Amino acid sequence: MKLENRLNAMTVDVEDYFQVSAFEGVVNKKDWDSISLRVGDNTNRLLDLFAANNVKSTFFTLGWVAQRCPDVIKRIVNEGHELASHGLAHQRATTMTEKQLFDDIKQSKDILENIGGVALKGYRAPSFSINDSNTWAYDILKDLGFTYSSSTYPINHDLYGVPEWPRFKYTRDNGLVEIPIPTIIKKGTNVGIGGGGYFRLYPYWLSRRRIIEFMQAESAPYSFYFHPWEIDAQQPRFDKAPWKSKIRHYINLSKMEGKIEKLIKDFNWVTMQEAYEIK
């Protein structure tokens, strides 16, 4: 039986294992096309799992992936999920000029809309890379016709994070909605409970308890994010990657799918648009 009647947002950041920011130093983007893709099969596994459990999700998808896995994009749309942009090729927004970011997001949007046959409303910056240094990104998103972004994580983290920014859905001055990744407050500090590596690291009972704690304390919807590569324990390994990156990326991959199955049975899951009433 579901623990809560209210709706929560399931989200998947559709990228392959070699495209993550943690491996930027050991995998050259020029070599991406020479690496065997696993993202298509892994995303289809997730779509099967969601279909079996009546889950709808928002798939924040790289344009690069969409070009190479168009059938997956069409399946996402045809099965009633929300298609959204994760940028073109997983380049962090903080590493681009305004023009470069505009071109990156526009290309991804055009690719995804042409393949999926639907208009995109949502965008998520790779590695939650909108912060105080590039708030102009919101004007780019508005100009390109997006309605909302989910590109901030209000925590302290060595790779990303804006702990002083809002914790809940809010509207920017230009009318664009930002939906931060969920947190709870422990001893005056924001603690991440949105998914990804934290969810793989902690035992399921602890993640579940923290999600329930969030729901009991807040009226806002809860949202969860993860990646197709996180259910793929057989993915090739990059032995030359920094030890911290390897620990973060490879820890508990074999346990992730089982945890996801428990999660989707314990709570009610819909798209970002539905959970946050995005018009």
Percent of the chain with pLDDT over 90: 88
28: three-class secondary structure by DSSP: coil
Q: Provide the pLDDT for residue 158.
A: 57
Q: Name the band, by pLDDT with cuts 50, 70 and 90, for residue 2.
A: low
Q: What angle do CA 253, 256, 261 make, to 5 degrees?
A: 160
Q: Provide the pLDDT for residue 266.
A: 94
Closest among 33, 20, 36 to 235, alpha carbons compared? 36
User: Which pLDDT tens digit goes with each residue over 56-101?
Assistant: 999 999 999 999 999 999 999 999 999 999 999 999 999 999 999 9
Q: Is the dihedral of CA 64, 70, 72, 73 positive or negative?
A: positive
For residues 11 and 224, the answer to whether their CB atoms sit within 8 Å is: yes
Percent of the chain with pLDDT over 70: 96
For the cut 50, the answer to whether the pLDDT of residue 1 exceeds it is no
pTM above 0.85, yes or no: yes
Q: Provide the pLDDT for residue 198.
A: 87
| CATH number of the structural domain 7-275 | 3.20.20.370
